[in-house]
Structure 1
Amino acid sequence: MKNLNICIDIDGTITDPYYWLSYANSYFNSNVSENQITSYNIAEILNVKDIDYLRFYEKCKFEIHSKQELRDDVKKVLNELYKSNNIYFVTARDKSLELLTFQYLKNNEISFDKVLVLGTYNKVPSANELQCDVFIEDSYDNAISLSNAGFKVILIDTNYNRFPLNHNIIRASNWNEIFNIINEIQERKSIIDILITGN
């Protein structure tokens, strides 16, 4: 039996959070830097209309998502966590990216139990369905929503999520730090299980 049900976002969480920037700068003939990305609202950061950003995204999404780079140490950490935990990827990507998402994870040799491509930012129902023990995210709004629903969240640090956290959210700088946090959660869960069962 595996220890924890770990739910993980994809874009910006296991991947470079600024993977889309070079494409957007080229498309909009802009010169936005990573340090300027202090909001999750990309259209606002680029100073373009939402409809224009959506038009760009629809045109470029398959190339962007197939080529984005992984964060440092992601593959090593996830494949180690997979040995003793259930790994569920839960992404807000739209359904048209479902096959690409599976293929991307397979091509990068990342082990997982399930992938949910939701087409919505509301991840609470899926977290409930998966009996999530810890959710790893980069979106501040998603972290708040999940934590308010009672889920433990690890928020991986980015320029666009540096806002006040509540008691259910832990900020992590990188995937090695996430690995250590999850090990601590596992240890606490094991102690609680022993106290409850007496074994």
Structure 2
Amino acid sequence: MQKKRFGLDIDGTITDPATFIPYLNQDFKKNLTLNDLTEYDLTSILKISDDDFWEWMGLNEGKIYREAPLAPDAHSIITQWNQNHELIYITARRSHLFDITKSWFSEQNVPYQHIEMVGKHDKIEAIRQHQLDIFFEDKHDNAVAIAEEFQIPVILMDTPYNRLPIPSNVIRTKSWHEAQIWVDSWLKQSIL
């Protein structure tokens, strides 16, 4: 089997998409569930300004990322793919969080060949640089832009905040198990 280059987002993709909710509920006196997060932009859900949100993130993101739980089944599936493929993580996290991120990967025993922290949601140049064959994402507009720019399959991990229409090479999956079934079929077809 030909080695493929898998690109993976971190937050909301390999980590549980509900990771932020307990922190939001505590600090903003809310009672949110994942189903309440129907938009990626949390400022409109929380009814706060961008400045207030980023001030809150600056105070809390290290702790949140340090304690983030893995999405169900992500670890075992990613570990299995790591046996034959390269795993390159491209995240919007800012570079000052690199040590926390790398420690989290080590503590969770999540395999990787490279972690790229682009510090913004636009991941196009990083994906171009790494010449990826497939990408895993939870942010709708990122998934669409990546699929259209590179004509590669993008696995969109289904969440309430990403349910807008998608092009045919964006594959919405409800679980890591469902993603694995699609990817394993894609891998078999690519060697024919």
TM-score norm. by structure 2 comes to: 0.96
Partner in structure 2 of residue 64 of structure 1:
64
Partner in structure 1 of residue 147 of structure 2: 147
For the 8 Å contact 2:87–2:113, the answer to whether it is kept is yes
1:69-108 → structure 2 map (5 Å cutoff): 69-108=69-108
Q: Is the 8 A contact 2:78 2:111 kept in 1?
A: yes
- List per-residue Cα deviations over 1:100-151 (Å, max 9, x = no partner): 1111111101111111111121111111111111000000010011011023
Show structure 1 runs of 4+ deviating over 6 A: none
* Amino acid of the structure 2 residue aligned with 1:144: V
Q: 1:2·1:86 contact (CA, 8 Å) conserved in 2? A: no
Question: What's 1:46 paired with?
Answer: 46
**Gaps in structure 1 of 5+ consecutive residues:** 192-199
Q: Does 1:123 align with 2:126?
A: no
* Structure 1 residue 31: Cα displacement: 2.3
- Secondary structure at the counterpart of residue 87 of structure 1: strand
Which whole-Å CA distance do the structure 2 matches of 1:18 and 1:187 have between them? Answer: 33
- Cα deviation per residue 1:63-85 (whole Å; 9 max; x = unaligned)? 11100111111110001000011
Q: Kindly tell me the number of residue pairs found equivalent between the two proteins.
A: 191
- Partner SS, residue 160 of structure 1: helix
Q: Secondary structure at the match of 2:87?
A: strand
SS in 2 for 1:15: coil
Report the alpha carbon displacement of residue 2 of structure 1 after superposing the two structures with TM: 5.1
What is the RMSD computed on CA atoms of the aligned residues? 1.2
Percent identical residues: 28
Q: TM-score, structure 1 length as denominator? A: 0.92
